A and B are shown apart, each in its own frame.
Chain A
Amino acid sequence: MKRFAAFVLTLLLTLPASAVEPSEMLADPALESRAREIGRELRCVVCQNQSIDDSAAEVARDMRRAVRERLAAGDKDEQVFAYMVARYGDYVLLKPPFKAGTWALWLGGPLLLSIAGGALLFAARRRKPITPPQPLSDEEQRRLDALLKS
C-alpha cells in the first residue's frame, strides 16, 4: 500500500519538463520569470502546438534567446510579443488576438453552446407531462383476480 501511495505521489509530482536550458537563463530571477511566462504564450513555429518554452527546436531556442535579449534591453511584455508578431505573424501567439478574422473562433463555441442549450430547454418545456397510470377498473380487477387464481 505504501509503495502504491509512493507511486501515485510520484505521478502527481511529475511536471512536464521545460526545454529552457540553464545556460539560457537570465541572472535576474524577476526577468527570467517574465521570460518564462512570455515563452509559454509563444508558439514554436515548427512544432504546431508547442510553446517555445517546451520545444527543443533550434528556432524555439533562438526565439527564447531573443525574448530574453528584448527583456534585458528594457522591453515591456507587449513589446516582446509585438517583436515576434512582426516576424512570424499572429501564428506565434498561442492565444490569438480578437479581431475581424478571429471573432468566429472566439465566439463560435459559446454561441453554439447557447443555441444547443436553448433548443434543449425549448424541447424540454414542450414535452407533454407524463400522465400517471389509471387505476384498474372493476372489470379489469376481476379479470386479473381470476387469472391469478387459476
Chain B
Amino acid sequence: MNRRLLFLLPLATLALMAGFFAWSLLAGRDPASIGSVLVGRPAPRLDVKPLREGEPPLTDALLKTGKPVIVNFFASWCTPCLAEHPLFTRLAERDGAVIIGIAWKNKPDEARTWLKRLGDPYKFAGADLEGRAGLDWGLSGVPETYLIDGQGIVRRHFRGPITERDLNETILPFLKGAK
C-alpha cells in the first residue's frame, strides 16, 4: 500500500465531518427536538376541571366520539399562544373543528379574560392550574397541540405554536381524512 495515501486520512475525516454538518444543516434536523412518544398511541387520560363556569369537567369521553378532535394547551401569559390563536379561531369557525383548549398553569380568570378579549375557539375548555394534565400529556411547555382521531389515537403532536403551513399541510388534511 502506498504510505502516502495515509496522509489523506485527516482530509477524509474532515470531509466526513463536513458532510455530517451539511446534512444536519440542510435536512432541517433539530437537535433540540425531543420528539413525542404519544403519536400512534391512545390519547392520555383527560381529567381536567372546567375553565368556564357552569360547564362539566373534561373527560376521556370527549376524545372518542368517532370524530377527530384537536387538543391545544395554552396560557394567557404565553406569547406564541397569542400568535397561533387566530388559526384556531379560523379552524373552529370556518372548518368546524372540535377544539379542546386547556389553560396550563394559568389562573382561570386570567385565561377567561384572555379568551373574552381574543375570541374563544374552544368547544370544550379546561383549567390545568397545577400542570398535572400537562405531565400526563408529555407537555414540555405551551403552546402544544395534539391531533386525535375518532378512535382516540394521537396522530400528531406539535411542540410550539402551529403555523399557517401546519394548518394547510397537516391539520386540514387530517380533519378531512380522520375517522
- The residues of A with any CB-CB pair to B shorter than 8 Å are 45-46, 48, 58-59, 62-63, 66, 85-89, 91
Contact = CB atoms under 8 A, between A and B. Distances in A.
Given A45-B140, A46-B141, A59-B140, A89 B36 contact: yes
B119 to A, nearest CB: 27
Interface stretch (B93-101, B131-139, B147-155): B131-139
Contacts of B141: 46, 58-59
B11 interface: no
B37 interface: yes
A88 B32 contact: no
A139 B88 CA distance: 100
A87 B140 contact: no
A89 B35 contact: yes
Chain A to chain B: the 3 pairs with minimum beta-carbon distance, closest first? A89-B37, A87-B138, A45-B140
Contacts of B112: none
B35 A87 contact: no
B37 A62 contact: no
Contacts of A63: 135
Contacts of A48: 32
A58 B75 CA distance: 13
Contact of A58 (B35, B36, B105): B105
For the residues of B in contact with A, the DSSP-based class is loop
Interface string B9-43: 00000000000000000000000101111100000
Majority-rule SS of A interface residues = helix
A91 B36 CA distance: 9
Contacts, number: 41
A66 B135 contact: yes
Interface in B62-93: none
A91 B37 CA distance: 10
Contacts of B134: 59, 62
Contacts of B138: 87-89
Contacts of B38: 87
B140 A89 contact: no
Nearest to A88: B138
A87 B154 CA distance: 13
Nearest to A83: B135
Given A46-B141, A59-B140, A62-B131, A86 B37 contact: yes
A89 B34 contact: yes
Given A48-B32, A58-B105, A59-B140, A88 B131 contact: no
A88 B37 contact: yes
B44 to A, nearest CB: 8
A59 B131 contact: yes
A86 to B, nearest CB: 7
